[in-house]
Structure 1
Amino acid sequence: MRQIFYFLLSFIFISCAAAKYKPQKINGVSFVASRGVVDSTHVEPLVNINANAAAVMPFGFIRDVNRPEILHNTDRQWFGETRSGAGQYIEALHKEGIKVMVKPQLWISHGEFTGFLKASSEADWQLLETSYTDFIIEYAELAEEFNVEVFCIGTELQEFIKNRPEYWHQLIKEIRTVYTGNLTYAANWDEFWSTPFWSELDYVGIDAYFPVSDMQTPTIEDCIKGWGKHKDDLKGFSEKLNRPILFTEFGYRSVDFTAKEPWRYDRSMTSVNHEAQKNATQALFDAVWNEDWFAGGYLWKWFVQHDEVGGMDDNQFTPQNKPVEDIIRAHYKE
């Protein structure tokens, strides 16, 4: 009997060792900064949709692209955009069991696209690099202080990275001296191929606004078909780098043609189409979420005052108080 017992015990250990470990998917939202503090009543709606993660997004501002100095953590910013506000958000989220990614972002005056940010002289490059380092290290230190699970080193900064790659390699080394968690970068969906430092990070981060359907009201089937080539490319890229893919942003507006150019948010798009948002979101979940190379993602975007946003007349990205919220709740529960 003793021999049989030891045989069975050995079999159990071997079986457990042979089983492939699958980490829990990041079922996240992008938690938008607000003017005031947050508490459990603001986090409860995340729990209600079965989210287990949230991106906290403090901001830095560039007033003049001709003098690219980053202003951050000032008394003129909203509370949630500052260091103390981000820290308070992290504490409130962690208290409810929500894991956090700190994702510092830039806002350039007049809403200019951050992907085009570059300096026109060596002196301006030095100014940009020095102020960006100050900005990003401040929030890397905050992330370490609050035991944050993921830190994002930048968002959609293609020209900055293309023109100054050595700066970014050095920046990552400096971040590693103050933050011990997982690192990613939020590359735009058409930018990530050329990002030169993925091997130095833990996740390949992508703002996943991939075009997947030209239909006015895209069907789930058409969107899944549209994901086909993207999926193959993402899988191959993940395997080549031996890094999981993380969607640092994903989502669709409740508007006509939402899956054709998902990044668009201009005011000329005035229709309201909740079926389009539902179908595109369901298709992303069906096509991508259960893939071994995929780590999860953060839905764009979720506002603190849940009862005051979204709704049936809203055609923006937020899923709050819209039919798509049920799609997200059901999928995140899985």
Structure 2
Amino acid sequence: MKILSVLILYIVAVFQVEVLAQVAAPKAAIHLVTYQAWGFTVDSTPQGQRVRRIIDDSYRLGFRTVIFNFRGHMIGGTGSDIRSTVPAHQQETEERLLLEAVAYAKSLGMTVAFRPILLVVGPRGEFPYVEGKTFWWHGVIKPTQPQLWFANYFKFHERYLRLAARAGAEWYSIGAEMHSMTSGLGERDPQWRLGYPKQWVELIHKARAILGSQTQITYGINYTDQYVLSDGQKTWGGELEQWRYYMTANFQKPANIQHQKDLREFWSLLDVIGIDYYRALASANDRFSNDFATLVRQLEARPQSHASQLDTTLTEMALLDGTLKPLFFQEVGYRSVEKCFLDPSSYEEDGGKYSLVHQGAAWDAFFRAYWAPNWPWMTGMGMWQILVDEDTQAKTDKGFTPLGKEPVESVLKRYLK
């Protein structure tokens, strides 16, 4: 009987997979980032003209959603002080200009998404923040007053939630890569083994009350090469693998059972499963060709194995309640430097040797693994990032932007149009 039940659930999951495949083709989104309250402007100023040109060029390449990113700062890795980077006296200006940028993107036929992100800084604004031997970032934070932390975290989001409702955002991200606060760090850190999924459930309900039904709610689960320890065994996949383990394992302790119940509810309330994909596409010991076609062939196997792991994970989750969740790669990025595909989460804008071939080949390998196979759960991806505060189309730009770069633009046109 148990085998029959599992088989029935599998058939249900497969049926839903087929339905999802018929709904819509994957859609590409572009992340826009600013460090200024006035950054997202489309007025007649030089900044406004630059932002309009960036949105126009993104549309030309096949992007159909603009993701607006908003930064918040958590002061220290154990505190509960969370602040918007936009001072209170500049917030009205930020909101007015943002809504004008939203209207401009929509005039081109694009949709918009909102993604507030939290960064850990030191008491004097130090970033990245290292305290002793601890490198603090948002995936390993350990607030000593979790309830106060969640209250302040919601306050940071509340203003953007109301703006998203006014803007008619397609989706809203309530967080990303916050491993310690969602699933918990598991056996890698026994003192912070379990997270706070119940508080995320409450946060989603608060967000839904503001957003209404028109905006999808998502969260960006980190999918990395970090290993997870479960019963002493290592499995690679970072935060996503930790979710899978805690959602599917058989537990006996009441605390683990309750944690599993809350994490499953967290997962079920998400309209779309977000994935922040920063996994190496090859081994650091390999020798890499500078011929584009050859390099793509060298890189394509690793992301295909990641895609198969994702497919298995999503199917296993679907068997829990018969519901297959759609997946959106909330964040993926490769810089314009050699071997950008080995440590894609590296944000050092000036480091590395300039290479558009390596950047383009990394993207081609990504699309071959996730776009071309028509995975039924695949709804799209968000390309990280274009910083709108400077001329990212300069020929020597080593950042993530694809604009004005070949063969990256040709790769995007081939898959996105």
Runs of 5+ in structure 1 lacking a partner?
A: 1-17
Q: What is the Cα-based RMSD across aligned positions, in Å?
A: 2.6
- The answer to whether residue 29 in structure 2 is matched with residue 21 in structure 1 is no
**Residue of structure 1 equivalent to 2:146:** 125
Once the two structures are TM-superposed, the CA of residue 20 in structure 1 deviates from its matched residue by 6.2
Once the two structures are TM-superposed, the CA of residue 272 in structure 1 deviates from its matched residue by 1.2
Q: Which shows bigger deviation, 35-44 or 273-282?
A: 35-44
- The answer to whether residue 399 in structure 2 is matched with residue 316 in structure 1 is yes
Equivalent residues in 2 for 1:1-334, closer than 5 Å: 21-33=22-34, 34=36, 35-36=38-39, 37-38=41-42, 40-72=52-84, 74-75=86-87, 82-109=94-121, 110-111=127-128, 112-119=136-143, 121=144, 124-161=145-182, 162=184, 163-179=195-211, 180=213, 181-189=215-223, 190-195=238-243, 196=263, 197-214=266-283, 215=286, 217=288, 219-239=295-315, 240-241=317-318, 242-266=324-348, 269-289=351-371, 290-304=374-388, 308-323=391-406, 324-333=408-417
Q: Is the 8 A contact 1:203 1:246 kept in 2?
A: yes
Q: Which shows bigger deviation, 286-295 or 311-320?
A: 311-320
Within 1, Cα distance between the matches of 2:413 and 2:376? Answer: 22
Q: Is the 8 A contact 1:217 1:276 kept in 2?
A: no
Q: Is the 8 A contact 1:58 1:82 kept in 2?
A: no
Q: Is the 8 A contact 1:59 1:81 kept in 2?
A: no
Within 1, Cα distance between the matches of 2:241 and 2:94? Answer: 32
Q: Is the 8 A contact 1:57 1:86 kept in 2?
A: no
Distance 1:20 1:314, change over 3 A: closer
Q: CA offsets, 1:173-196, max 9 Å, x none? A: 221212122111012112123343
Q: Is the 8 A contact 1:58 1:81 kept in 2?
A: no
Within 1, Cα distance between the matches of 2:120 and 2:398? Answer: 25
Distance 1:210 1:280, change over 3 A: same
Within 2, Cα distance between the matches of 1:72 and 1:19? Answer: 37
Within 2, Cα distance between the matches of 1:298 and 1:97? Answer: 17
SS at match of 1:21: helix
Runs of 5+ in structure 2 lacking a partner?
A: 1-18, 44-51, 122-126, 129-135, 185-194, 224-237, 244-262, 290-294, 319-323
Q: Is the 8 A contact 2:78 2:142 kept in 1?
A: no
Instruction: Give the TM-score, by structure 2 length.
Output: 0.68
SS at match of 2:139: helix
Distance 1:19 1:46, change over 3 A: closer
Q: Is the 8 A contact 1:58 1:86 kept in 2?
A: no
Once the two structures are TM-superposed, the CA of residue 83 in structure 1 deviates from its matched residue by 4.0
Q: Percent identity?
A: 23
Q: Is the 8 A contact 1:114 1:156 kept in 2?
A: yes
Q: Is the 8 A contact 2:370 2:378 kept in 1?
A: yes
Q: Which amino acid aligns with 1:113?
A: W
Q: Which amino acid aligns with 1:38?
A: V
Q: Is the 8 A contact 1:217 1:273 kept in 2?
A: no
Q: Which amino acid aligns with 2:396?
A: D
Q: Which shows bigger deviation, 179-188 or 108-117?
A: 108-117
Q: Which shows bigger deviation, 316-325 or 80-89?
A: 80-89
